[in-house]
Amino acid sequence: MEEIYQYTDKLAYENILLFTPKAVQGGGYYAKIKINSGDLYVQTPKIYTKNGINITGKKVYSDLLFERGHLEFINFIQNIEERIREIILQKGELWFTEKPNIEDIEERWNSSIRQYKTKKYLIRTKIERSLNNLELQIWDENEKILSSKDIDEKTNIIGIFEVAGLKFSSTSFQLDLQLKQIMKFDDKKLFSKCLIKTNKRKDIENLKNLEEKVKIEMDSVNSDISQDLTNIHDSLNETLDENQCAHDNSNGNSEESDNEESDNEESENEESDNEESDNEESDNEESDNEQQDKLIQSGKLFENNKLEESKIINETQENKKNKSIEKNFSVEENNTTVSNHLEENEKKQHNSILEEVNLEILDNETMELKKPKDVYSEIYKSALLKAREAKKKAIKAYMDANKIKKQYLLDDIESSDAEDLENFSE
């Protein structure tokens, strides 16, 4: 994404580049301007235009109007122009038949900034056109699209223009500034309403504030009263419920007294019956003793069963312990067998490395060494073969060079290599 620079940004002017100029119609030249391999876009502060957007024949332009308060932006544009002049001076030898000096460039330089009515400045920007459409986007503060007719000399705007390139000829240099976007700002009238504050207005505002506070307090009081009423109503209902419960309890007590009388009559009848039952109890005591003996015997059986169960549990635990011990012994035996195998393998390896060998030398066998003369003669022959092959390659290269020399008529070139090669002996 291209970066848009403002006059408040710290622009690295040394990164501005001026490309090789190309010829255009009319006898002039045009060189593109870039920064960090991208286009150079500049955003203006809030400004006005001289006459809005002007359309005259094939040309469409707008003169941006700056005031004294925009001197920092004017200096920003002047620094860009200064950087372009330095590049022209550096590349003067490549672009011109005679290298221009700084005085020649400044004499032919047409600045983009013009003074207007002593206290204002104008910067002319060009607007590109494709068929009947302008390559210019115009927006309002709410980002609604507007037309060029909505911009006039009374419109407050912010614009973005591109420092596209440098147009020059033998008599002049001038920057090409192309306007790309405009945002229109509406003038908000501050004094459309009465903003003067008097004592009466203050009193009215204070009364309104007091009324609001009283309303808030009354609402809170009403809510508290309603809560109190609901609490009283609930407490009354609770007391009524308690009274009803007490009345019901009194009725219950009268019924209990009647029941006690009937109980007394029953107890008298029971006493007479108890006398008869005492005789029967004496007969039943003997049967109870027999039952106790049976219970004692059953308890002994129960204890015996418990002992047998505990014996069985102990036997199972001992069997488990014996099995775990057997497993441990088996694991240890396996480990010992594995360790023995490893020791045997290590011994075999050591034995294979440190085996003793007896060399038997027969008396009939004899070893003959080559003579030094034979060795050096073989080395000489191999070197001679390499030299002959290199000589053949050199002669072939020399023949190719002579062929090129004769084919392209290069007799004027002197070479000492030919003399050296003629002295070679086959």
Q: Could you report the per-residue pLDDT of 171-216, keeping only the tens digit for each?
A: 899 999 999 999 999 877 666 677 676 665 666 777 677 778 767 8
Rg of the chain, C-alpha, whole Å: 61
* The pLDDT of residue 211: 72
Which residue bears the tokens 């070893």? Answer: 367
**20-31 residues labelled b (16+ CB within 10 A) or e (exposed):** ebeeeeeeebeb
Q: What is the CATH number for 172?
A: 2.40.50.140
Residue 98 lies in a domain: yes
Question: Residue 324 pLDDT > 80, yes or no?
Answer: no
From 139, 168, 188, the end of a domain falls on 188
Q: Binning pLDDT at 50, 70 and 90, where does residue 285 land? A: very low
From 188, 206, 232, the end of a domain falls on 188
Residue 111 lies in a domain: yes
Residue 315 lies in a domain: no
Question: Residue 282 pLDDT > 70, yes or no?
Answer: no
Task: Answer yes or no: are the C-beta atoms of 164 and 177 closer than 8 Å.
Answer: yes
Domain count, the chain: 2
d(CA 197, CA 193) in angstroms, rounded, equals 12
100, 79, 65: which is closest to 35 by C-alpha? 79
Domain region containing 100: 4-188
Question: Residue 424 pLDDT > 50, yes or no?
Answer: no
Residue 291 lies in a domain: no
Residue 347 lies in a domain: no
d(CA 347, CA 337) in angstroms, rounded, equals 15
pTM of this prediction? 0.47
Residue 327 lies in a domain: no
Residue 311 lies in a domain: no
Residue 341 lies in a domain: no
From 135, 157, 188, the end of a domain falls on 188
Burial class (CB in 10 A: 0-12, 13-18, 19+), 50: middle
CA distances (Å), origin 407, targets 394, 400, 401, 411 = 20, 10, 10, 10
* The pLDDT of residue 343: 64
Reading the block at residue 111, the tokens are 């600045």
Q: Residues 268-281: pLDDT tens digits?
A: 445 444 444 454 44
